[in-house]
Amino acid sequence: MEVSPFIDEKNILHLLGKKIKPGKSKRINFNTAKLHTHTSVEIPVIVERAKKKGPVVLITAGIHGDEINGIEIVRRVVAESINKPEKGTIICIPVLNIFGFINGAREFPDGRDLNRVFPGTKNGALASRFAYHFSNQILPIADLCLDFHTGGASRFNAPQIRIDRSHKKNTLLSKIFSAPFTVISPNIKKSYRYTCDQYNIPVLLYEGGKSLDSNNEITQVAIEGIKRVLSHYGMLRIETPVVPSETESILIESTFWMRAKYSGLLHLKIPAGKQIRKGEILAHITDPYGNFIHRVKATSNGHVINANQSPTVYQGDAIFHISKESNG
């Protein structure tokens, strides 16, 4: 892995108009816009540098402001000093969409999904302007990106890494991270992951849990994965323990959604992450009055990588995201 071009011949990092020398730490406030009250909104960019030269790893969360579990993962990376490298540089941004985080909302105040406007435009809407400044002032510094998300709304994701095979290093790094599941997921144009690929920067996207919720198990899986990746590059401090993965990550190349055939109250019978067999009862859908019950049965073998934990559903709502596997 080559040293970032934003590091000069004296190994000084130039970021957002600041200079960070080897072995130094700095918190830089990234400010692109104000609230409608004219109050400044600052996004902390936490930089830790070792004295030894090495890669620049960018760790982000909160692209969607309501995905609290991702924010908690990066917070713990900082709180537990995992971001203090043995060599190279680690940049942590726990909350990218600070506007959404303040409002408990997924989107930017302009109603746009930040993860659908990258790399942004200089004179566009608010989310697009933010993406533009991030894509030009921060992202190009990175040699590797780790980005943390949750399922949207009440949909709970089993801990998983999502990669596009177009970048060979993504496959290698996903094996090193070793989440319970590795999902082959094509890049979506204008997403953060797609932009990383356009910049030729390897990226791992971690999904786990659901929005407006914090789950310690989901967090811990991510923390251990981060440590394994940093250890692979010789960036993790020797005194920081690394827990080897007990099982090999399950590779999922194709998936489908099971949808509700009826509206009603949803009663899940299995958790996200469970291996299922064709014909197994996954959930019940009932009416509120005790007169109706529909048993949701698995239509094939597979693993449930997402489960809708909403107490109510409408006909056609997605209730399970399942891997496609042989029924033999």
The domain limits of the chain are 13-232, 255-323
**8 A C-beta contact, residue 205 and residue 149:** yes
| The domain made up of 13-232 is a member of CATH 3.40.630.10 | yes
Q: What is the pLDDT of residues 165-174, one digit of tens each?
A: 878 899 999 9
CA angle (67, 149, 204) in 5-degree steps: 160
Bond before 5 cis per omega within 30 degrees:
no
Q: How many Cα atoms are found within 13 Å in the side-chain-facing hemisphere of 300?
A: 15
- Please give the pLDDT value at position 202: 96
Largest CA distance in the chain: 75
Give how far the C-alpha of residue 229 lies from the chain's centroid of Cα atoms, to the nearest Å.
15
Q: Return the bridge partners of 147, or none.
A: 60, 205
CATH of region 255-323, choose from 3.40.50.1220, 2.40.50.840, 2.40.50.100, 3.20.20.70? 2.40.50.100
Give the three-state DSSP class for 179: coil
Tokens of 132: 């533009």
- Number of helices and strands (H, E) in the chain? 6, 19
| Common-topology check for domains 13-232 and 255-323 | no
- Per-residue DSSP letters for 276-326? E-TT-EEEEEE-TTSS-EEEEE-SS-EEEEEEE--SEE-TT-EEEEEE---
Q: pLDDT averaged over consecutive 10-residue blocks of the chain (328 residues)? A: 71 95 97 85 96 97 98 98 98 97 95 98 96 97 97 96 90 97 96 96 97 98 98 94 91 97 98 97 98 98 98 98 80
Residue 270 one-letter amino acid: I
Q: What is the DSSP string of 146-157?
A: EEEEEESTTEEE
Q: Can you give the pLDDT at residue 4?
A: 52
At 224-272, the pLDDT tens digits run 999 999 999 999 998 899 999 888 999 999 999 999 999 999 999 999 9
What sections of the chain are H helices per DSSP?
68-79, 98-103, 126-137, 168-177, 192-198, 216-232
The per-residue pLDDT for range 119-155, each reduced to its tens digit, is: 999 999 999 999 999 999 999 999 999 999 999 989 9
